[in-house]
Amino acid sequence: MTFAQGPVVWALVVVALVAVGAVLRARAINVKLRRNHAELRQERDALLHQRDELHVVHNTLLQRQSAELAEVRKDAEEETKAVLKAAVRTLQGLADEQQVVIEKAQRKYGDDPGILADLMAMDHANSQFGRRAQGIAVLCGGWLGRRETVASVFDVARSAQGRIRHFDRVRVNGQVNFSVVSRAVEPVAVVLAELLANATNYSAPGTPVEINIQAVPTGVCLIVDDAGLGMGQEEKDRAAALLSPQAAISVSSLGIPPQFGFAVSGMLAARYGFRVSVDSVSPYGGVRAVVLIPDELLTTEAPPAAAPAEAPEAALSPAPQVRQPDQWQARAQSQPQHPAQAPAPTPLFPPTPQPDTATQPLAQITTTAGGLPKRRRKSPVSAVPSAEPEPVRSNEETASRLGAFQRGTRSGRDTTTTEGPEFQ
């Protein structure tokens, strides 16, 4: 039995040993695997970390690239604008120069209706050209050109009217006793011209476009109404964005053909401090555009009266000087009813230059800046220059002669008596 039990025991022992061996081996493998696993995990973590780092680097590089791209684009845009601005500046100057030449020609040949009409057509084309050049200049950050004097709101509206193609469809209503300060004269005129151009281009030919001038508590409103189709919401939004620009407008974003109107208006309004809006509907169904000129850009100063073109550039001398024209003026004012006491006659067209009276209201002018006398009905003046000293005459003789002369000139100039052959 012991023997019989022996092999079983041994077999059991062997099995047990094998089992122990297997367990130990498994444990060893397990430990090794664990170690491998830990190593792999570590490696993976390191790689993950590296990946994150690379991600960050990638992002920064992307950012830098886009920033640099934007900068390059901005530089390119600025360079383009600078070149364009310089080129357009020349064009602006030339347009202005040409305008002056045309104006002079208009005065010179103004007596011939045919020539004057042609000159006006040239003037009209040139004005539109000048406005376009001004628009491009503004978009490129350039300037419009500065006016020296204030201009009445009415004249600003009429000046704007002259800068568009269909000026004859525009009517200006209402006058206020305000002028626009000199630095804002051109900007307001250009903005109004762009609004008028839009109004006439986007309404049926032949329909009127109205400018109404209205004083409001905060300034003066110029209201442009057209009878067109109006604008959709999308167009209104685009216009509103352009009219209150947050950043410089890219020239390339204006499309082909470029639509500057609102972009130019927005930039000028922001730069000079007035407001432009196009979001209301006109009573005729089209667009109502409103330019609000604030009090800061308005003045009660009257614009200077029109000066003759060939006015000599005499210095303004307020002190009365002993000159023949001044004598004439003084006599005309102080002694209109006493021709008998009139001293030596003076030439009707004195050759000496006059003090510049162009800045005075017209009512006070008795001689023009060009030296021409403003004639008055009851101030007879002999046109014969006194080459020699006056002959000695008795008082009665002088009185009767001058009285006869006065009667003669009166009857000659009287409107109530017989009129000339051309009177109708």
Long-range contacts of 227-236 (CB under 8 A, 24+ apart): 227/203, 227/282, 227/284, 227/285, 227/286, 228/199, 228/202, 228/203, 228/204, 228/285, 228/286, 228/287, 229/202, 229/203, 229/285, 229/286, 230/281, 230/285, 230/286, 230/287, 231/278, 231/287, 236/278, 236/279
Measured from the CB atom, is 68 or 168 closer to other proteins? 168
Between CA 244 and CA 258 the distance in angstroms is 19
The single residue among 4, 5, 351, 423 that binds other proteins, judged by CB under 8 A, is 423
In the complex, what is the shortest distance from the CB of residue 45 to other proteins, in angstroms, rounded to a whole number? Answer: 56
Give 122's contacts (C-beta < 8 A, 6+ positions apart).
102
The single residue among 132, 158, 236, 275 that binds other proteins, judged by CB under 8 A, is 158
Measured from the CB atom, is 45 or 414 closer to other proteins? 414
Q: Is the dihedral of CA 135, 137, 143, 145 positive or negative?
A: negative
CA angle at 289 for the pair 286 and 296, rounded to the nearest 5°:
165
Measured from the CB atom, is 4 or 247 closer to other proteins? 247
Neighbouring CB atoms inside 10 A of 122's CB total 15
Q: Which of 299, 57, 39, 17 is nearest to 185 (CA)?
A: 299
Assigned token pair, 103 = 């104006």
117, 154 in Cβ contact below 8 A? no
Query: Is residue 412 close enough to count as binding other proteins by CB under 8 A?
Result: yes
The single residue among 8, 247, 306, 322 that binds other proteins, judged by CB under 8 A, is 306
The single residue among 59, 65, 66, 175 that binds other proteins, judged by CB under 8 A, is 175
Radius of gyration of the chain (CA): 45
The footprint of other proteins on residues 343-402 (CB under 8 A) is: 362-363, 365, 368, 370, 372, 374-378
Helix (H) or strand (E) holding 402: helix 395-413
Site string for other proteins, 81-120 (x = CB under 8 A): ----x---x--xx--x--xx--x--xx-xxxxx--xx--x
Query: Is residue 141 close enough to count as binding other proteins by CB under 8 A?
Result: yes
In the complex, what is the shortest distance from the CB of residue 182 to other proteins, in angstroms, rounded to a whole number? Answer: 10
Applying CB under 8 A, which part among 51-59, 216-224, 293-301, 413-421 lies near other proteins?
413-421
Measured from the CB atom, is 230 or 266 closer to other proteins? 266
Q: Which residues bind other proteins (CB under 8 A)?
A: 85, 89, 92-93, 96, 99-100, 103, 106-107, 109-113, 116-117, 120-121, 123-124, 127, 141-148, 151-152, 154-155, 158-159, 161-162, 167-168, 175, 185-186, 189, 305-309, 362-363, 365, 368, 370, 372, 374-378, 412-413, 415-416, 419-423
